[in-house]
Amino acid sequence: MSQDSTTAPETSRKLSGRRRREIVAVLLFSGGPIFESSIPLSVFGIDRQDAGVPRYRLLVCAGEDVPLRTTGGLELTAPYGLEALSRAGTVVVPAWRSITQPPPAAALDALRRAHEEGARIVGLCTGAFVLAAAGLLDGRPATTHWMYAPTLAKRYPSVHVDPRELFVDDGDILTSAGTAAGIDLCLHIVRTDHGADAAGALARRLVVPPRRGGGQERYLDRSLPEEIGADPLAEVVAWALEHLHEQFDVEALAARAYMSRRTFDRRFRSLTGSAPLQWLITQRVLQAQRLLETSDYSVDEVAGRCGFRSPVALRGHFRRQLGSSPAAYRAAYRARRPQAGPAERTDRPDRLERLDRLERADRPDREVIEQRSGEHAMPLRRPGGPVGHPGHTGQPAHHHHPPHPDPGKPESDAYAPRLPEQATGRASGRPTLPGQRERPVG
């Protein structure tokens, strides 16, 4: 279940008699970042009953018998050890110091025992690696910081990693993305335990939104996964990132890797944590985002320079990932730039709304009807065609728009027209759907 859900899955295990639901144990390790560590301490360790927030009892536990040094060389002293986890109804692992190091065996045993006795286990950011090392995420959906999601998926292939979510609630196991997403998950826990009013009151005290929409997609970077360098697919992924301005599809990437499409999909997912088509679309949108920020190219030109077959495909995916049209995004970005001159300022709400309306109104002008199928936007041409084309209806053509692709061929999200050797024997016009997750979150 993702952050968009309103109800949490039921936890099947009953809490053992010695554990209390109002007790939250936070497990700290040396080398953990202080920001992530402070989030559950602030949410569950401060009495805010005057604001309508029910009180939790906090136990701060050391996960290892060494000095707990954190960001900036600060040294912390935890009042409890691993034995205190036996009293907690919720155990939070706010972060782990390094995704390349194994967590202490004693801490992993304590987490397994807590889970067996019905405790709710929470991993914030890289804390998901500790839960995975304990075997608590096997066969379950989970998330972590988008930068570490590919490593988590590759190292623990039985975990269903979804790098798009801010947090994932799977009942008695919960994980969140990086840093501020830990606040989102802690608020979700309060909302689950005590209702929306309590979570809203806490959010007001913390001066944060009670519920953020969207996921991590708007924050994704084009960086390669940390461990990709030694993988045979590294060259293919690097090539794709360097040639996003060209039109190519996943079939072409599979051919470059000398793999069948099925094998390539499986290997790519294990390496990056996402299906190759979804990854390619995300990278094209990110490239479009950069061009809108740094260039004066029109939206049509940006679409072409990012490998989209038409501006319609760009607009559909841009809106789904970033919640805005390309034109409105550029206007809002330039309005925030201090160096923007009077002619560039577009921060008036009415102008942004007008740009958004024009973006939507532009679709009929292009004689395109957008139909969504799964993750794909399939623009279909209306009857008729440009002047001089058989079936022309007599209406004047819009000379400033490029002709639309073959009306019988659906517009694929990130795909280019197939190469002749790839198209041999394939039915014309068949839409290619994106790879489905083995186990959808939710």
DSSP string for 159-201: SEE-TT-SEEE-SSEEEE-STTHHHHHHHHHHHHHH-HHHHHH
Three-class secondary structure of residue 344 per DSSP: coil
The 10 Å CB-count burial string (b at 16+, else e) for 387-414 is eeeeeeeeeeeeeebeebeebebbbbbb
In this prediction, residue 140 carries a pLDDT of 93
Q: How far apart are CA 138 and CA 116, in angstroms?
A: 14
Q: Which of 148, 209, 138 is nearest to 177 (CA)?
A: 148
Residue 154 tokens read as: 């590759």
Phi and psi torsions of 399, nearest 5°: -70, -20
Token pair, residue 127, equals 């804390």
Helix residue ranges per DSSP H, 195-233:
196-206
Residue 115 has what pLDDT? 97
- Whether the CB-CB separation of 103 and 133 falls below 8 Å is answered with yes
SS3 10: coil
* Enclosing H/E stretch for 275: none
Round to whole Å and give the CA distance between 161 and 3.
15
CA 20 to chain CA mean position, Å:
33
Q: Which of 95, 34, 94 is nearest to 58 (CA)?
A: 94
Candidates 273, 278, 12, 2; CA nearest to 159 is 273
d(CA 432, CA 135): 36
Nearest residue to 119 (alpha-carbon basis) of 174, 38, 167, 175? 174
CA distance 377 to 245: 20
123-136 burial code (b ≥16 CB/10 A, e <16): bbbbbbbbbbbbeb
CB atoms within 10 A of CB 329: 22
Cβ neighbourhood burial of 35 (10 Å; 0-12, 13-18, 19+): middle
pTM for the whole structure: 0.56
User: pLDDT tens string for the chain (442 positions)?
Assistant: 455 444 445 545 688 878 999 999 999 999 988 998 999 999 999 999 988 888 999 999 999 988 898 888 899 999 999 999 999 999 999 999 988 899 999 999 999 999 999 999 999 999 999 999 999 999 999 999 887 887 888 888 889 888 778 899 999 999 999 888 999 999 999 999 999 999 999 999 999 888 886 666 555 554 555 555 556 787 888 888 889 889 899 999 999 989 999 999 988 877 766 788 988 988 898 889 889 988 999 999 999 999 998 999 999 998 887 778 999 889 888 886 655 444 444 344 445 555 555 555 544 433 333 333 333 333 333 334 333 333 444 444 444 444 444 433 333 333 333 333 333 333 334 333 333 334 433 3
What are the Cα distances from residue 284, in Å, to 210, 242, 270, 310, 361? 31, 11, 21, 13, 24
What are the structure tokens assigned to 247, written together? 């039109």
Q: Strand, helix or coil at 111?
A: helix
Regarding beta strands 167-169 and 173-176, do their DSSP bridges make them parallel or antiparallel, or are they unpaired? antiparallel
Query: Which pLDDT belongs to residue 60?
Result: 96
Q: How far apart are the first and last CA of the chain?
A: 3
Q: Cα separations (Å) of 153 from 211, 234, 263, 298, 311?
A: 27, 16, 17, 38, 33
Pairing type for strands 75-76 and 68-69 reads antiparallel
Predicted local distance difference test score (pLDDT) of residue 338: 54
Question: What token pair was written down for 344?
Answer: 């560039």
The number of helices, as runs of H, and strands, as runs of E, in the chain is: 15, 12
Q: Which of 101, 93, 102 is nearest to 127 (CA)?
A: 93
**Backbone phi, psi, residue 124, to 5°:** -100, 130
